[in-house]
Amino acid sequence: MIARMWEVRASRGGFDELLSWVCDRELPKLEVLPSHVSSEVFSSTDQRIVVISKWRNTPGELPAPPQHLVARSPHVWDFTPVDR
């Protein structure tokens, strides 16, 4: 299992459109991939959007968002479970 965290900060005034781009346009394309397990979307008061998706093997990738909607490029991290 791989958990992928994708985080981006919206440009001033671009938050709602960026959230719609993630939730309504791009995330549905990933959720139909055979290795996809689940996805969650989070937002913060400082205009950030985080997607945490879980995958059976190689994670799918969200494309770069439209430049006018972001304050900076997305950051992506992959995590694997820890046996404890």
- In CATH, what number is assigned to the domain containing residue 31? 3.30.70.100
Counted domains in the chain:
1
Q: Summarize pLDDT for 29-49 with one digit per residue, the tens.
A: 999 999 999 999 999 999 999
* Prediction pTM value: 0.93
Q: Which domain holds residue 75?
A: 2-56+71-79
d(CA 43, CA 49): 5
Look at residue 53 in the predicted model and tell me its pLDDT: 98
| Cβ atoms < 10 Å from Cβ of 4 | 19
pLDDT band at residue 15 under the 50/70/90 scheme:
very high
Residue 84 within a domain: no
Residue range 20-26: average pLDDT? Answer: 98
Residue 64 within a domain: no
d(CA 3, CA 22): 17
Look at residue 66 in the predicted model and tell me its pLDDT: 96
Look at residue 21 in the predicted model and tell me its pLDDT: 98
Over the chain, what is the mean pLDDT? 96
